[in-house]
């Protein structure tokens, strides 16, 4: 399994047969190295309905007949746009041919905001546990620190975790470093920082606080072989 980071919270996972995109916010993301029209995923996984996470999902999914796996209300909303979806909900898991997807809780909001200034509720936000080829990747989505991260870590052997550090909308650096203690992953990548002025952070400060996991400070396009 090869896992790469592409700015903000965009993650790409390549297994032997499949390409999985998580939260493909590409258009409008000044930090990404990706071009939406060039992406050919088999699957898109979504944590929640905010524009900076759903991003280019509809266009990419339609162009590639990609399956979109998302929390129930968000999956329903995207299905109305002509996208092929599978709905999960918090605590639910499913074995797919490309791997196992389980949604965890996340403490945040989830709504799609339209250009017409409408707010469309898209259900509860989530984190994602993705398991394939004997490896587990945890994408926390947008979340605050919460105590049940300890349960997630105790019940799952996490090889690589993606945790937001941007503060303002999510955990900041100190809370994210404590989340690493609770989750006990082998390695961690900070995400959701520096995209917008309110979430400017120095990821080295996060790395300096983490003691019991390998911290990878990835530039967009960099990846890790698991």
Q: What pLDDT does residue 108 have?
A: 97
Evaluate whether residue 108 is within a structural domain. Answer: yes
Nearest Cα residue to 141 out of 70, 68, 85, 213: 70
Average pLDDT over residues 6-35: 98
**What does each C-alpha distance from 120 to 47, 55, 116, 123 come to in angstroms?**
16, 15, 11, 9
Write the CATH number for 59.
Answer: 3.60.15.10
State yes or no: pLDDT of 147 exceeds 90. Answer: yes
CB 61 within 8 A of CB 39: no
* Band of pLDDT at residue 47, cut at 50, 70 and 90: very high
CA 218, distance to chain mean position in Å, is 15
Evaluate whether residue 118 is within a structural domain. Answer: yes
Above pLDDT 70, what percent of the chain? 100
At which residue do the structure tokens 């996470």 appear?
A: 53
Average pLDDT over residues 160-184: 98
The domain in which residue 48 lies consists of: 2-218
Evaluate whether residue 226 is within a structural domain. Answer: no
Evaluate whether residue 212 is within a structural domain. Answer: yes
State yes or no: pLDDT of 113 exceeds 90. Answer: no
Q: What pLDDT does residue 114 have?
A: 87
For the purposes of burial, counting CB atoms within 10 Å of the CB of 128, is it exposed (0-12), middle (13-18) or buried (19 or more)?
Answer: buried
Number of folded domains in the chain? Answer: 1
Evaluate whether residue 96 is within a structural domain. Answer: yes
State yes or no: pLDDT of 73 exceeds 90. Answer: yes
Evaluate whether residue 223 is within a structural domain. Answer: no
């Amino acid at each position: 399994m090869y896992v790469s980071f592409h700015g903000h919270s965009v993650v790409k996972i390549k297994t032997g047969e499949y390409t999985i995109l998580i939260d493909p916010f590409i258009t409008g993301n000044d930090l990404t190295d990706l071009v939406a029209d060039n992406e050919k995923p088999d699957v898109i996984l979504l944590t929640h309905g905010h524009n900076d996470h759903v991003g280019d999902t509809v266009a990419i999914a339609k162009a590639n007949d990609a399956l979109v796996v998302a929390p129930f209300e968000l999956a329903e909303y995207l299905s109305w746009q002509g996208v092929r979806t599978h709905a999960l909900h918090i605590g639910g898991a499913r074995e797919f041919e490309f791997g196992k997807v389980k949604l965890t809780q996340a403490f945040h909001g989830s709504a799609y905001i339209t250009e017409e200034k409408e707010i469309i509720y898209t259900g509860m936000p989530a984190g994602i546990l993705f398991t394939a080829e004997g490896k587990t990747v945890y994408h926390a989505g947008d979340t605050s620190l919460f105590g049940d991260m300890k349960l997630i870590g105790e019940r799952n052997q996490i090889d690589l975790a993606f945790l937001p550090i941007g503060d303002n909308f999510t955990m900041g650096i100190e809370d994210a470093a404590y989340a690493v203690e609770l989750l006990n992953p082998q390695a961690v990548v900070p995400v959701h920082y520096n995209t917008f002025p309110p979430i400017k952070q120095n990821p080295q400060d996060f790395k300096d606080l983490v003691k019991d996991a390998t911290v990878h400070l990835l530039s967009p396009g960099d990846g890790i072989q698991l």
